[in-house]
């Protein structure tokens, strides 16, 4: 039994599929001089196989949900594959050193990675990862293993086991139906885990050595509720988890009855339930789970892994697609939150020792006016087709608010001049996710139309806990009194000023926190679509009066244990 951090709820029973580390397992053996030609031919055949794989992938990406980013990503890999250093040099090594093809190509890879590591330019340094990924494919082709991302076959479910996955890797999951995923590193609110949650598949992260302890095709139980992975379970454990899984399935089915029910508490308070999305295709899930609208569209996910600036028309199409799919419902588009763990090749990847404290989100957008204006124009153009709202991430200072609003006015003026339709009164909101903004809220209340509390970052910045760092994941605590007070204070002040306020961080989708947030006065929650009905059910069985009394008690306490006990009591009322 392996213990990690629960990153996405649910139970999966599946076979392990280890994510490629073929290059770590390459054997070295000598070949006879007369075998050289055959070995070189084997190498050529592997290159041809990978070429064919890339061509097939290229075809598959056409018309897929996020074609642009993968197209650019594939182009880089294609260039690496066809570079003579990889496609020709190893053949010379085979002849000179009389070694096997796998060994020859991995030697070349190590040499290239070493060279790349000396580049000053972070973009070029990162290309070392691409070289490794291409070589992985070649080595797998040599070993006769399929190297594409596996898809869940009809026969048995597959759990992806990896050392680490970037948010861009995770977005691939949207296309390949895995039953679960587990990783050695990461935190529960890192963007990789957020994507897993949005897919509604169980995930456990920060397992430390799962990748080396689990073998290919081993049977796994992934318990995303408790952060456990059980390897090769015995009959009794398996039966127990099968029962748990089918009970969960039944409960989910039952929840579907609430689809058309309005979210109202026992004492009559109405609550708005919105969805968080990463790609336009996610709106299908919003509709399926009865979301009132989109509370957070993490627009930057459209363009991760690209090395060019996304064009205005392309963005306009993406935003308009969401607006079209949800007529009359609010669609909140967050402007690019690039930087930290979401790096955009060439833009969000400036060297920084502390990227989460660096040029991220609105800071990056203000430093890159072309990027920001292009996005604002695209959102404004799409606003002629639906109820769009603009949300600015990571605001910390009055200056940033003023600057962001000035950019929006400039984009509107440009469109007016060009006679391009847009909503001149588009609501502009700010994310409250830096403690400075929460503490100096009045300025934000005066300047903006709505607020959305990003609890993921608010916790990270209040507690000084990197949300992606497995070493401190156990200290990432939404119930820390400082965090709770900041959240309660923002909600109270916003309500007093009649300013709409939502929570769009992961806390909004946590069942055990729903009543506490209701008690703080929250009436607008935004979460992964898959969490909506569960939260609705909790709201339907809650009394605001009881929640308020418990919330007030919890806010007075500095003792984490007392807070936990009071919360547990509130949840069993």
Q: Which letter, b or e, does each residue of 522-541 get, where b requires 16 or more Cβ atoms within 10 Å of its Cβ?
A: bbbbbbbbbbbbbbbbbbee
Question: Does residue 191 carry a catalytic annotation?
Answer: yes
Cα distance between residue 566 and residue 561, in whole Å:
9
223 binds ligand PEP (CB under 6 A): no
CB of 98 to Mg ion, least distance (A): 55
Nearer to Mg ion, 490 or 570 (CB): 490
Give min distance, CB of 184 to ligand PEP, in A: 22
Q: Which residue in 114, 89, 119 sits closest to 104, CA to CA?
A: 89
Q: Which does 466 bind (CB under 5 to 8 A by kind): Mg ion, ligand PEP, none?
A: none
Determine whether 99 is an active site residue.
no
What's the rounded Cα separation, in Å, for the pair 58 and 364? 31
* Residue whose tokens read 């070649």: 138
Residue choice 69, 272, 278, 433 for contact with ligand PEP (CB under 6 A): 433
Whole-number minimum distance, CB 431 to ligand PEP, in Å?
Answer: 7
Q: How far is the CB of 192 from ligand PEP (least distance, A)?
A: 11
**Nearest 5°: phi and psi at 514?**
-55, -50
**Contacting residue, 383, 456, 514, 537, with ligand PEP by CB under 6 A:** 456
Q: How far apart are CA 141 and CA 163, in angstroms?
A: 21
Using the contact rule CB under 6 A, the part of the chain among 368-376, 383-391, 418-426, 449-457 near ligand PEP is 449-457
- Binding partner selected for residue 455 from ligand PEP, Mg ion, none, CB under the kind-specific 5 to 8 Å limit: ligand PEP
Tell me whether residue 328 is exposed, middle or buried, using C-beta atoms within 10 angstroms of its C-beta: 0 to 12, 13 to 18, 19 or more: exposed
Vertex 27 angle, CA 25 and 29, to 5°: 175
Torsion from C-alpha of 421, 422, 423, 427, nearest 10 degrees: 180
In this structure, what DSSP letter does residue 403 have? H
Please list every residue from 295 through 334 that binds ligand PEP, using CB under 6 A: 296, 298
Q: Which residue has the tokens 């300013």?
A: 499
Residue 502: name its binding partner from ligand PEP, Mg ion, none (Cβ under 5 to 8 Å by kind).
none
Residue ranges of alpha helices (H) inside 11-166 are 36-61, 67-82, 84-87, 89-97, 101-116, 122-143
Place of tokens 């990432």: 476
Which of helix, strand or coil describes residue 344?
coil
| Residues from 358 through 387 that contact ligand PEP (CB under 6 A) | none
In the shown chain, the binding pattern of residues 425 to 454 toward Mg ion, with x for contact by CB under 5 A and - for none, equals --------x--------------------x
Binding mask 460-479 for Mg ion (x = CB under 5 A): --------------------
10 binds Mg ion (CB under 5 A): no
Measured between alpha carbons, how far is residue 33 from residues 30, 88, 103 in Å? 9, 19, 16
Q: State the binding string over 482-511 for ligand PEP (x if CB under 6 A, else -).
A: ----------------------xx------
Binding span for Mg ion by CB under 5 A among 106-114, 234-242, 456-464, 547-555: 456-464
The binder of 504, among Mg ion, ligand PEP, none, by C-beta within 5 to 8 A per type, is ligand PEP
Task: Work out whether 337 is an interface residue with ligand PEP (CB under 6 A).
Answer: yes
Q: How far is the CB of 90 from ligand PEP (least distance, A)?
A: 42
* CA-based end-to-end distance of the chain: 34
In the complex, least distance from residue 298 CB atom to ligand PEP, rounded to whole angstroms:
5
d(CA 226, CA 362): 35
Supply the minimum distance, in Å, between the C-beta of residue 437 and Mg ion. 12
Interface segment toward ligand PEP; rule CB under 6 A; list 133-141, 160-168, 208-216, 453-461: 453-461
Is 454 one of the binding residues for ligand PEP (CB under 6 A)? Answer: yes
Closest alpha carbon to 558 in 465, 487, 485: 485
Is residue 457 a contact point for ligand PEP (CB under 6 A)?
yes
Q: Interface with ligand PEP by CB under 6 A: which range of 106-114, 410-418, 455-463, 494-502?
A: 455-463
Rule CB under 5 A: say whether 386 interacts with Mg ion. Answer: no
Stretch that binds ligand PEP, among 152-160, 382-390, 408-416, 454-462 (CB under 6 A): 454-462
Does 457 participate in binding Mg ion (rule CB under 5 A)? yes
- Is 100 or 455 the residue whose CB approaches ligand PEP more closely? 455
Catalytic entry in 99, 286, 365, 504? 504
Q: Which residues pair with residue 298 across a beta bridge?
A: 334
Window of 93-101, 121-129, 284-292, 452-460 that interacts with ligand PEP by CB under 6 A: 452-460
Give dist(CA 256, CA 184) in Å, integer: 34
Integer angstrom CA distances of residue 501 from 271, 350, 444, 546: 12, 33, 12, 21
Binding mask 187-206 for ligand PEP (x = CB under 6 A): -------x------------
> Of 230, 174, 167, nearest to 199 (Cα)?
174
Please state the separation of Cα 169 from the chain's center in Å: 9
Give the single-character DSSP code of 325. Answer: H
Are residues 345 and 337 in contact, defined by beta-carbon separation less than 8 angstroms? Answer: no
Transcribe 224-248 into DSSP letters.
TTTTEEEES--HHHHHHHHHHHHHH
Q: Rounded to an integer, what distance in angstroms lies between the CA atom of residue 3 and that of residue 102?
A: 35
Q: Residues 77, 191, 305, 422: which is the catalytic one?
A: 191
Pairing of strands 180-183, 158-162: parallel
Is residue 166 close enough to count as binding ligand PEP by CB under 6 A? no
User: Pick from ligand PEP, Mg ion, none: which does 320 bind, CB < 5 to 8 A by kind?
Assistant: none
Instruction: Indicate the residue among 292 and 506 with the shorter CB distance to Mg ion.
Output: 506
- Interface residue list for Mg ion (CB under 5 A): 433, 454, 457
Instruction: Show which residues are catalytic.
Output: 191, 504
The footprint of ligand PEP (CB under 6 A) covers: 194, 296, 298, 337, 433, 454-457, 504-505
């Amino acid at each position: 039994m392996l213990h990690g951090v629960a990153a996405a709820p649910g139970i999966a029973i599946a076979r392990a599929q280890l994510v490629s580390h073929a290059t770590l397992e390459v054997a070295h053996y000598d070949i006879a001089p007369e075998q050289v030609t055959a070995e070189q031919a084997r190498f050529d055949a592997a290159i041809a196989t990978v070429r064919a794989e890339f061509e097939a992938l290229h075809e598959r990406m056409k018309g897929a949900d996020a074609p642009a980013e993968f197209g650019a990503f594939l182009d880089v890999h294609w260039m690496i594959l066809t570079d003579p250093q990889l496609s020709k040099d190893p053949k010379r090594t085979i002849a000179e050193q009389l070694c096997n093809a796998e060994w020859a190509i991995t030697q070349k890879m190590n040499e290239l990675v070493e060279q790349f590591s000396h580049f000053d330019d972070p973009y070029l340094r990162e290309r070392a990862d691409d070289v490794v990924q291409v070589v992985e494919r070649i080595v797998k082709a040599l070993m006769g293993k399929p190297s594409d991302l596996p898809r869940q076959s009809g026969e048995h479910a597959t759990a992806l086991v990896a050392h680490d996955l970037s948010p861009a890797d995770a977005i691939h999951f949207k296309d390949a139906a895995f039953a679960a995923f587990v990783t050695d590193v990461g935190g529960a609110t890192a963007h990789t885990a957020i994507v897993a949650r949005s897919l509604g598949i169980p995930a456990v992260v920060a397992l430390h050595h799962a990748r080396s302890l689990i073998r290919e095709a081993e049977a796994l139980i992934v318990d995303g509720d408790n952060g456990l992975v059980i390897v090769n379970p015995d009959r009794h454990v398996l039966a127990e988890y099968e029962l748990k899984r089918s009970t969960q399935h039944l409960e989910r089915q039952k929840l579907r009855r609430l689809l058309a029910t309005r979210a109202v508490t026992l004492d009559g308070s109405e609550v708005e339930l919105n969805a968080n999305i990463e790609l336009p295709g996610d709106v299908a899930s919003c509709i399926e789970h009865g979301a009132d609208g989109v509370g957070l569209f993490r627009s930057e996910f459209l363009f991760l892994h690209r090395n060019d600036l996304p064009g205005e028309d392309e963005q306009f199409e993406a935003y308009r697609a969401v607006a079209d799919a949800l007529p009359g419902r609010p669609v909140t588009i967050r402007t690019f939150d690039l930087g930290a763990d979401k790096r955009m090749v060439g833009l969000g990847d400036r060297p920084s020792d502390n990227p989460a404290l660096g040029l991220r989100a609105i800071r990056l957008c203000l430093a890159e006016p072309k990027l920001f204006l292009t996005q604002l124009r695209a959102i404004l153009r799409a606003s002629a087709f639906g109820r769009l709202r603009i949300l600015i991430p990571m605001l910390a200072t009055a200056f940033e608010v003023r600057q962001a609003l000035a950019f929006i006015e400039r984009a509107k003026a440009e469109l007016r001049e060009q006679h391009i339709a847009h909503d001149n009164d588009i609501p502009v909101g700010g994310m409250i996710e830096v403690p400075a903004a929460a503490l100096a809220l009045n300025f934000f209340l005066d300047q903006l139309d709505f607020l959305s509390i990003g609890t993921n970052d608010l916790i990270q910045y209040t507690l000084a806990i990197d949300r992606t760092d497995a070493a401190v994941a156990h200290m990432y605590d939404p119930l820390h009194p400082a965090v709770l007070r900041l959240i309660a204070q923002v909600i109270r002040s916003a309500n007093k000023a009649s300013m709409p306020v939502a929570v769009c961080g992961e806390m909004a989708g946590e069942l055990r926190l729903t009543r506490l947030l209701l008690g703080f006065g929250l009436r607008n929650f935004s979460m992964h679509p898959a969490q909506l009905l569960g939260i609705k059910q909790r709201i339907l069985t809650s009394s605001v009066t009881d929640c308020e009394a418990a919330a007030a008690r919890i806010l007075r306490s500095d003792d984490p244990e007392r807070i936990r006990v009071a919360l547990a009591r509130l949840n069993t009322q």
